[in-house]
Amino acid sequence: MRALILAGGRGTRLRPLTHLIPKPLVPFMGDPYAHGLLRRLVDAGVTRATFLVGRDAAPFQPLVDAAPQLGLAIDVATEEMALDTAGAVRRALAGEADEPVLVCNGDVLTDVDLRRIIDGHVESGAVATLTLHEVTDTSAFGVVVRNGQGMVRRFVEKPQPGTVPDNTINAGTYVLQPRLFDHFPGDGPLSFERQVFPGLLDAGEKMFGINDDAYWQDLGTPARYLEGHRAVIDGECTWPLAEGMVVVEGQSAIHPSAVVDETAVVRFGSVVGPRCRVGAGAVLQGAVLHEEVEVHDAAVISDALVGALSEIGTGVVVPKGSVLGIRTYLGTR
């Protein structure tokens, strides 16, 4: 099976972590987020994954290079202009056989049962299947209303709570039949939310919705990125960890290649990445360190992100909410 991964965003809200690398390659739980996503796709039966990116494919080359170890074929498709959420998918599927294709976002952390979604789509006979996520306050979202058999009947934009029979929203993972784009010929920008899905209903096509109680979180901001790490460590979200990542006392994750002094304190969902060094008396509380970060003695890092190859000097206190890019130095020389 083939998967298409939407990865055309510029990652502006995660800067400076995304100054030099695209958002799907930002480390998550010890290795690039995309590696974990691809492991999940392989487990669901995917044999080929295509990343739909912006103009430049070069930053994604490390993913293509990692294909043999991840166990599937990986390619990258660029777009010379922004094609919106569906335009790049339409272009990628042009001329393809009408076999189910999985579409997912390159910055959403979820442990949704992909195999269940795929099987449900096949059994339904629909041209499109949407994964749905329940929310308490529907006023901030577009709600997907279904009938008793799970078929989508309408979309309601930001209804007040209790005014529609469902409280489920589009969670951004789809299974599609390529033939659905017969209703939307041509090339160029196209939106799933504004054009494709409402248009399919207007055309009388069958659309299926599967409600899943899986974890779901957009990792596009520093706060959500930190929250995603904690969800994995706490067991709220099931995520395939990098080989050798160790969860310590249920509170933190430390890569086996990292060196942490026995007097250091690492807690509250902290992640210590590959080849990091944490000195005596240092305190990490809800901190995420990317690879080869050096934290000197008695430094304190709380609820902060530290990019690769950075160095935190002796006794330095990193303010809460800080996001430090690659090769950042804090301290005195």
Torsion of CA 258, 264, 268, 269, to 10 degrees: 0
Residues 292, 275: contact at Cβ < 8 Å? Answer: yes
Long-range pairs, 195-204, Cβ under 8 A, ≥24: 195/86, 196/86, 196/128, 197/128, 197/130, 197/152, 197/155, 197/170, 198/155, 200/127, 200/128, 201/152, 201/153, 201/154, 201/155
Q: Tens digits of per-residue pLDDT, 100-146?
A: 999 998 888 899 999 999 999 999 999 999 998 887 777 767 788 88
Task: Identify the pLDDT of residue 250.
Answer: 67
* 272 beta partners: 254, 289
Q: Which residue matches tokens 């080359």?
A: 61
For residue 249, pLDDT over 70 is answered with: no
Mean pLDDT of 165-194: 88
Summarize the confidence of residues 163-172 as an average pLDDT: 78
Buried b (16+ CB within 10 A) or exposed e, 87-125: bbbbbbbeeeeeeebbbbbbbbbbbbbbeebbbbbeebe
Asked if residues 232 and 239 have their Cβ atoms less than 8 Å apart, the reply is yes
3-state secondary structure of 92: helix
φ, ψ dihedrals at 57, nearest 5°: -85, -20
Tokens of 158: 């930001």
Query: CA-to-CA distance for 288 and 188, rounded, in angstroms?
Result: 39
d(CA 209, CA 202): 17
Alpha-carbon gap, residue 131 to 137, rounded angstroms: 18
pLDDT of residue 288: 93
pLDDT at 133: 84
Delineate the domains of the chain, giving CATH numbers in brackets: 2-212 (3.90.550.10), 237-330 (2.160.10.10)
Confidence check: pLDDT of 280 > 90: yes
Looking at every residue in the chain, the average pLDDT score rounds to: 88
Q: What is the largest CA-CA distance in the chain?
A: 69
The tally of CA atoms less than 13 A away on the side-chain side of residue 46 is 29
Q: What is the pLDDT of residues 26-73, one digit of tens each?
A: 888 888 899 999 999 999 999 999 999 888 888 888 888 888 888 899
Task: Kindly tell me if the per-residue pLDDT of 11 is higher than 70.
Answer: no
